[in-house]
Amino acid sequence: MTTPPQEVTQILDAIAGGDRHAAEQLLPLVYGELRKLAKAQMDQEAAAHTLQPTALVHEAYLRLVGDGSGAELKWDSRGHFFAAAARAMRHILVERARRRGRIKHGGDRGRQALDDEQASFEPKDLDMVALDDALTRLEAHNDQVCQVVMLRYFAGLGVEETAKALGIGTTTVKAQWNYARAWLHRQMAGSP
């Protein structure tokens, strides 16, 4: 069941105002949606990852709300909050990918499953570090297009929800989404 956007927005405003109890009220309201978001992001991860969606939700939530004092917290809407959650999850996954890539943590050697009954091993080929680098370049190139990617891909919002969150038309969102996909594909393939 999706929580009414107004209720989430009111609680977000209360958190921004410093109401520590509001932070406790927010998590149960948004947990299901954050869990779906985390699961979608984890499905894009390489098979060797060890982080679970629940842990990703909790770590992202702590980064977003912290101690609930509201000192640095301000979201314009429910969509803005979920975009920030998606960005936090992306950063957590990128940090973990970079940490795994260090020689101290085994460099580029991946974990191998020892299950003899497993017919095949097909790791996902999405490189989170390369994606993060490409998104950083896209953000510098065109911030609004990057925001469309953050809301569509990382926050899992549809075209209409993205348009509403950004205050632009659905046709613009569709065009920017298509542009972003082509641009990111080119960047990640190494083309100029």
Asked if residue 148 belongs to a domain, the reply is: yes
Asked if residue 40 belongs to a domain, the reply is: yes
More confident residue, 30 or 115: 30
Calculate mean pLDDT across residues 52-76.
73
In angstroms, the CA 148 to CA 134 distance is 14
Tokens at 111, concatenated: 């974990």
Asked if residue 131 belongs to a domain, the reply is: yes
Asked if residue 91 belongs to a domain, the reply is: no
Number of domains in the chain: 2
Give one DSSP letter per residue of 17-36, joined into a string.
TT-HHHHHHHHHHHHHHHHH
List pLDDT tens digits, range 87-146. Answer: 888 888 888 877 776 554 444 545 444 333 333 233 345 677 888 888 899 999 999 999
- Is residue 70 located within the same domain as residue 2? yes
Asked if residue 63 belongs to a domain, the reply is: yes
What is the DSSP secondary structure assignment for residue 154, as one 8-state letter? I
Q: What is the predicted pLDDT for the residue at 112?
A: 45
Last residue of a domain, one of 46, 78, 110: 78
Beta carbons of 65 and 23 less than 8 angstroms apart = yes
Burial category of 64 from C-beta neighbours within 10 Å (exposed 0-12, middle 13-18, buried 19 and up): buried
Domain containing 43: what range?
Answer: 1-78
Contacts of 52 (CB under 8 A, 6+ apart): 42
- Is residue 6 located within the same domain as residue 74? yes
Asked if residue 85 belongs to a domain, the reply is: no
Asked if residue 164 belongs to a domain, the reply is: yes
On whether the pTM is more than 0.85, the answer is: no
